[in-house]
Structure 1
């Protein structure tokens, strides 16, 4: 994660006050995850979302942060996960420390039977898996994907080809298995 800051320094020279300023950037590393964390408990490297912000442990809702409902796919409620809206791309730094990602994906009940999306996991620039187009009538799809050695992982949701209206997509119970 890159952070930019603007330092300001003051000093006296020949009894006259002077100042200087500038900008600088620094990389603030996100440590790789350990144990079995839920993705909703980790820091994002980046989070792009088609409508409103990426929501932690709730559905996408509408435009405001925190306006989602509990994650629910075909009547099953999940306490953990990420609620997004197509087109979405949420990135995580794994640092090669993890071996598996598991999740249950689908369109949230708050928009069913509408919506159509695909879910993809992209690791270090290559696609590990992509679902078929899922609609608001589709059953939830379990994912269990090998992420051994992956440095950067992106959770990507695209619209199903008919525009992104009602494309509230859930990464329910998204969890990693990592070294301690």
Structure 2
């Protein structure tokens, strides 16, 4: 090791090295000045690359369908597992053997993932066929019963229309609706977060934006309980006009009982009162459809008037549009 007290020997290359070092410093300063002055200068090789952009996801339950029958959204238990943001379709053997929901994807999504199966509170004996299609092309078809579920990942790249459908597939005629669920169904795209995505919830013209402050209980009650029940009652009343009210009296009586339960469970007083008003006419229908079917017509008309004149405005005040 060199003795630090010993003076170093000068060499003839000292001035040359000093000159080279000075030139290098000047060149470095010039380069840095040019880079600071211009915004288009390339990044240095040591700078980290930009982080990858995370994919965009959106729950199908948050989208407004173009058309539907028997549709509900909200929480659902499937095969013993709870799912908070699900899409489900209510069907039975008689009045509505098939339920569906169709969505506009705007050709902006890549994948649809979900767990499919029957809602655990569906009656024993329910068996449903689950089908999904994009622009008329079948993506998946599966028949499942109570206590069965399956995870699906469907390619919806460049699809414009998505249709989900369940069909009653059991030979047993159960007394309540079977609910086919696309549990926590979500769409995924590769677009950056600030890219406009088609298929976002449409702005309703039925009233102001929902003022439930993100109240998922209200939303589940309206979309998951009230809307499917109203659709079922309307279908049974329409069919009864052709076949007679006595033929569907049992169903109308069950629906009347269910309407009472729905009104009692409602989390919003104005909506509860509106549902109760509608329910009173349905109770008169169910009380007379067996013994006095000829007297049911005015009560059925009163039900329709109460839906349009009382319930519809109450829903609109909370930002909900009554399904057709």
**TM-score bracket, shorter-length normalisation:** 0.5 to 0.7
| 2:33 is aligned with 1:35 | no
Pick from 132, 139, 142 the counterpart of residue 128 of structure 1: 139
How far is 1:88 from its partner? 1.1
Q: Which residue of 1 aligns with 2:74?
A: 57
Pick from 73, 76, 80 the counterpart of residue 81 of structure 2: 76
Q: Which residue of 2 aligns with 1:110?
A: 121
Query: Using the alignment, how far apart are the partners of 1:164 and 1:137 within structure 2?
Result: 18
* TM-score of the pair, normalised by structure 1: 0.66
Q: Pick 1 or 2: higher relative contact order, CA cutoff 8 A, min separation 6.
A: 1
| 2:67 is aligned with 1:46 | yes
Cα 1:100/1:160, change in 2 over 3 Å: same
- The structure in which a higher percent of residues are helix is 2
Per-residue CA shift, 1:38-69, capped at 9, x if unaligned?
A: 000011111112xxxx11114xxxxxxxxxxx
Q: Which residue of 1 aligns with 2:188?
A: 177
Q: Which protein has the larger Cα radius of gyration, Structure 1 or Structure 2?
A: 2
- Contact 1:112/1:137 (8 A) holds in 2: no
Structure 2, unmatched stretches of 5+, are 1-54, 92-97, 196-324
Structure 1, unmatched stretches of 5+, are 1-33, 59-70
How far is 1:114 from its partner? 2.9
SS at match of 2:166: strand
Q: Which residue of 2 aligns with 1:153?
A: 162
- Contact 2:86/2:182 (8 A) holds in 1: yes
Cα 1:57/1:129, change in 2 over 3 Å: same
Per-residue CA shift, 1:156-178, capped at 9, x if unaligned?
A: 11111426744211110100002
Per-residue CA shift, 1:80-138, capped at 9, x if unaligned?
A: 1112113111001011110000000101111254310011111111211111x211132
Query: Using the alignment, how far apart are the partners of 2:120 and 2:141 within structure 1?
Result: 21
**C-alpha RMSD of matched pairs (Å):** 1.8
* TM-score of the pair, normalised by structure 2: 0.38
- Contact 1:114/1:137 (8 A) holds in 2: no
Query: Using the alignment, how far apart are the partners of 2:101 and 2:170 within structure 1?
Result: 20
Cα 1:148/1:46, change in 2 over 3 Å: same
- The structure in which a higher percent of residues are strand is 1
**How many aligned residue pairs are there?**
129
- Contact 1:98/1:177 (8 A) holds in 2: yes
SS at match of 2:61: helix
